[in-house]
Amino acid sequence: MSSYDKYQTPLATRYASQEMMSIFSARTRASTWRQLWVWLAEAEKELGLNIPDEAIEQMRQHVTVSDKAFDVAREYENKFRHDVMAHVHAYGEDAPAAAGHIHLGATSCYVTDNADLIFIQKALDLILPKLAKVIQNLKEFALKHKDTPTLGFTHYQPAQLITIGKRACQWIQELVMDLEDIETVRERLQFRGAQGTTGSQATFLELFEGNADKIVELNKILCQKAGFPSTYPISTQTYTRKVDLRVANAVCALGATAERITSDIRHLANLKEMEEPFEKSQIGSSAMAYKRNPMRSERIAALSRKLANLPVNFSNTFKAQWFERTLDDSAIRRMDIPEMFLLADSILLALDNVTNGLVVYPSVVRARIDQELPFMATESILMKLAQHGVSRQDAHEEIRVLSHQASAVVKQEGGKNDLLERIKKNEFFKPVWGEIDGLVDPALFIGNSPRIVEDYCNGEVAERLSRYQETLSKAETAQLSI
């Protein structure tokens, strides 16, 4: 059957990287199980169990699962209705000298859970530098535009001016929070190790003839081989699903951040102040040829919405576990863990592409400022009049009347804001006529924005990115194929 005749997730066919898809591929999963069985046999032999050298050597030679081995495992699973035992027997056919030693003392979760932890570790290591790259893109963008005035918006209504760089720093700060949270769960990730069927280590205690110290040593060896600092001190049949929830809370929060950022970009695109990259031959609409839709940002928003809502699945799976384990965690985790990381990966690839190519239209930005700045300048005009001995209350009333007249021109006639022209023609304001033009320089209304941008980007952000400097120096911007 052709791949076109069966459903395939768009995350794999359209959005995610090959590296992330490889981590969660069937071959990687089954081959990791075999690697875990090799490590277990090696450690058990090192600690005195009678496992022949030939058995371990054959296991090492057949760690990567072949297509034929998958077919054999599928036949066994049809018979046993147990995927792990199917692969135990398939491995035994590839390594016959090891057939009686594979999986010795272990429960299914020795391979399934430890493999999941390995995949989570690798996936976290893959997304962290990609997130750092997006932050670096925005850091460079923010510093470039640290002095570029733009309207602030509260309630999506014009508010006090900021700079384009200052707005980018809002996005950066939220992404840095995600970076910190994901780094934390990565650093705290531990291994399940060899704990037995209910976490009591009973089978291993029997194998080692009551020597509990050898179980401790066994798990130290396994952690060293797998690249983990230690095992979780308490296990049941599984590692606690609270771990999955903690990881999901950190990774999936990136979805909320990415949707928020791209919502801003999409609104700014509507205002024609900023756009995401738009290629020469790109088509915005099949019907309206003139359109330049922010499709990349819209894609990010859609994927982000899915990612941001995944933690509820992990929470429900965790809280639904009974006692030492129930199997209703299995099917949903097969979907949720890979999907979480494929989504995060897809979002970061697209965000890298967008944030590295943001286009600003300064003339449009300035035109919008000019529509609102006269109103914002009125407080300065009040102060100047007061310095000339004019009553503050009289000046306030004169400005109120003229402001409403100017507002009517904008709203009812579609004209431009002519408040300053009205003020310049009104004799009441004659004492400050010569100062008015100097009061509406946008740079006077951006507050401390440039310094805020410089201090934040060159300080905290630079420090957070320092650990990724080697990777970032070699990183290229993600190119989207669709």
Of 244, 242, 236, nearest in space to 333 by CA: 244
CA atoms within 13 A on the CB side of 148: 18
Distance CA 381, CA 402 (A): 13
Of 397, 400, 417, 401, nearest in space to 409 by CA: 417
Query: CB-based burial of residue 212 (10 Å sphere; 0-12 exposed, 13-18 middle, 19+ buried)?
Result: exposed
The verdict on whether 403 is a catalytic residue reads no
SS3 assignment, position 476: coil
How far CA 312 is from CA of 244, 245, 337, 478, in Å, comes to 11, 9, 13, 30
Q: CB of 120 within 8 A of CB of 337?
A: yes
The verdict on whether 481 is a catalytic residue reads no
Q: Which residue has the tokens 């440039």?
A: 450
Alpha-helix residue ranges (DSSP H) falling in 286-391: 295-308, 311-319, 330-355, 362-387
Distance CA 274, CA 138 (A): 14
Distance CA 409, CA 426 (A): 17
Concatenated DSSP letters of 73-139: HHHHHHHHS-HHHHHHHHHHHHSGGGTTTTTTT--HHHHHHHHHHHHHHHHHHHHHHHHHHHHHHHH
C-alpha of 238 from chain center: 27
Q: What is the DSSP secondary structure assignment for residue 65, as one 8-state letter? A: P
Q: Which of 155, 286, 363, 473 is catalytic?
A: 155
- Sign of the Cα torsion 249, 254, 255, 257 reads positive
Tokens coding 402:
């003229």
Q: Which of 22, 200, 230, 285 is catalytic?
A: 285
Residues catalogued as catalytic? 155, 285
